[in-house]
Structure 1
Amino acid sequence: MSVYQGRFDGRCAIVTGGASGLGKDVARRIVAEGGKVVLWDLNADALAAAKDEIGAAHVVALDVSDQAAVEAAATASVEAMGKVDILVCSAGITGATGPVHEYPLDSWRRVIDINLNGLFYCCRAVVPYLLANGYGRIVNLASVAGKEGNPNASAYSASKAGVIGLTKSLGKELATKNIIANALTPATFESPILAQLPASQVDYMRGKIPMGRLGEIHESTAMVCFMASEECSFTTASTFDTSGGRTTF
């Protein structure tokens, strides 16, 4: 992993899903490049370990589907860092697998609550602080599933399509405020979230990638960090792909 020394000097970031996977890797790189981070995650033990490993300024254990908890976390995070410049919404779950007509209702609700409603709550809570700064970068983690739809993953696909639509609206709302909002639409990459899926589903997703392999986490981390930086200054309300050629739109 190459590091752009000082790219995030003076910048303060909130990273949801920051105790593992892509969120943790993004947070690690922001700190390595001079920034401060607060990590939000449901797993308190993993948060404590990630805080020590990365050198995070603060951590908050919460369920992003709890709107009141998200509001409180935003306040606590700004108090811990002094401000917030960057929001990376990486928290998410895959949910159950199965056809729509058999899909478990509880799993549908949970996926939508975390992946879409939770992300909305995070943006809603943090944007006022970015407006007060007169600067901001928002990166929302979507998926190629939100563009194409994966069979037997309707809740996940629908939630990520919602993230793309929400991000397009948000980016246009903030376009004249010096706040950039974009979504990342990765194909499947090596991550702890794969443990939530049967091997057959992972094999299906790998087979859809023209490069013939899963992504590597550092490839998506590099893209997120560009999207979260000052370098990303004239693209908003858009999606960036790290899909190995699977999606080209």
Structure 2
Amino acid sequence: MIKAPDLPFSLAGRKALVTGGSRGIGAAIATLFAEASADVAICHHGDDEHASALAAALAERGQTLHARECDVAQEAEVTALADWAAETLGNIDILVNCAGIGGRDKPIGDVSVEEWDRMIGVNLRGVFLVSRTFFPGMVNRGYGRIVNIASQLAYKGAPGLTAYVAAKSGVVGFTRALSYEGAPHNVMVNGIAPGPVETPLLFAHSEAWLDMKKGQLPLGRFGQPDEIAPTALLLASETGGAFYCGQTLSPNGGDVMI
């Protein structure tokens, strides 16, 4: 992890919320934002253990992390999250929609309606619900940064992952559309489409799938969460993110070259 004295951007005075922030890419982003002097809150779904461990690790460095349970696919829980965030931090300047689920690859004929709905619910509906909740306040205040975490599979697809790819493709389109509404008010909406990164979502796949995927990468290895977080810092910062509008950046080890 890059340390604060070497960071190219400061988030001092900014309030940030990272959904799905208890582990993986979300935890790396929350940690880097705290290093950049932001006041940071995260939400998670049924992951108190990792959320508490992350908060304890940051506390050892003199940083505070606020955490709350939230299923981002549920409107009532997102409303409660917003109330909690307002009481805990105040106005949210930076929102990172990182909450997401994956799953083992399945032919479409084996995908149940319940599995499809849950994948779309967390990975796409959740981005909508959380963004809809915090976006108007950013517009009213004339400042905001929203960073949506998609996937490089939104561009290339993958066999057996129709629900996941559909959801992440939707995130890319949602990011572009919302950026038109935000840009006139200095609310910059952008995305990140990571390549395969060593997180629990990646290792839900079979060994054969993992070997196949690694062999496709020019770098010959999977990424680390800490290698994705700096892109989020760029887009979330006042100066670094000022001229990015509706873009989805792709730190992906060369898996997709656009």
Q: CA–CA distance in 2 between the matches of 1:77 and 1:120?
A: 17
C-alpha contact 1:96 1:103 (8 A) present in aligned 2? no
Q: Which residue of 2 aligns with 1:12?
A: 15
C-alpha contact 1:186 1:241 (8 A) present in aligned 2? yes
2:136 maps to which of 128, 144, 159: 128
Q: CA–CA distance in 1 between the matches of 2:69 and 2:83?
A: 14
Shift of 1:47: 2.1
C-alpha contact 2:158 2:165 (8 A) present in aligned 1? yes
Q: CA–CA distance in 2 between the matches of 1:71 and 1:203?
A: 41
Name the SS of the counterpart of 2:201 in structure 1. Answer: helix
Aligned letter for 1:203?
D
Aligned residues: 249
Name the SS of the counterpart of 2:84 in structure 1. Answer: helix
Q: CA–CA distance in 2 between the matches of 1:215 and 1:195?
A: 13
TM-score, normalised by the number of residues in structure 2: 0.91
Q: CA–CA distance in 2 between the matches of 1:200 and 1:170?
A: 38
C-alpha contact 2:9 2:234 (8 A) present in aligned 1? no
Alignment of 1:81 onto 2:81: no
Q: Which residue of 2 aligns with 1:236?
A: 245
Aligned letter for 1:37?
V
C-alpha contact 2:28 2:226 (8 A) present in aligned 1? yes
Q: CA–CA distance in 2 between the matches of 1:189 and 1:142?
A: 12
1:14-72 Cα offsets, whole Å, 9 max, x none, are 00011111111111111111110111001233223322223444211011111111011
Alignment of 1:93 onto 2:101: yes
C-alpha contact 2:16 2:41 (8 A) present in aligned 1? yes
RMSD, aligned CA? 1.5
C-alpha contact 2:194 2:251 (8 A) present in aligned 1? yes
C-alpha contact 1:96 1:104 (8 A) present in aligned 2? no
Q: Which residue of 1 aligns with 2:119?
A: 111
Q: Which residue of 1 aligns with 2:254?
A: 245
Where structure 1 has 5 or more consecutive residues not aligned to the other structure, the ranges are: none
Q: Which residue of 1 aligns with 2:56?
A: 52
C-alpha contact 2:15 2:38 (8 A) present in aligned 1? yes
Give the 4+ runs in structure 1 shifted more than 6 A: none
Alignment of 1:37 onto 2:40: yes
1:125-165 Cα offsets, whole Å, 9 max, x none, are 11122123211111100001111111111111111000000
Q: CA–CA distance in 1 between the matches of 2:210 and 2:112?
A: 20
Where structure 2 has 5 or more consecutive residues not aligned to the other structure, the ranges are: none
Q: Which residue of 2 aligns with 1:157?
A: 165
Q: Which residue of 2 aligns with 1:199?
A: 207
Shift of 1:6: 6.9
Q: Which residue of 2 aligns with 1:71?
A: 79
Alignment of 1:140 onto 2:143: no
Q: Among all aligned residue pairs of Structure 1 and Structure 2, give the percentage whose two residues are the same amino acid.
A: 33
C-alpha contact 1:182 1:237 (8 A) present in aligned 2? yes
C-alpha contact 1:57 1:80 (8 A) present in aligned 2? no
Q: CA–CA distance in 2 between the matches of 1:86 and 1:138?
A: 6
Cα separation, partners in 2 of 1:209 and 1:192, compared to 1, 3 Å: same
Q: Which residue of 1 aligns with 2:216?
A: 208
1:154-177 Cα offsets, whole Å, 9 max, x none, are 111111000000000011111111
Aligned letter for 1:242?
P
C-alpha contact 1:88 1:139 (8 A) present in aligned 2? yes
Cα separation, partners in 2 of 1:176 and 1:127, compared to 1, 3 Å: same
Shift of 1:5: 7.4
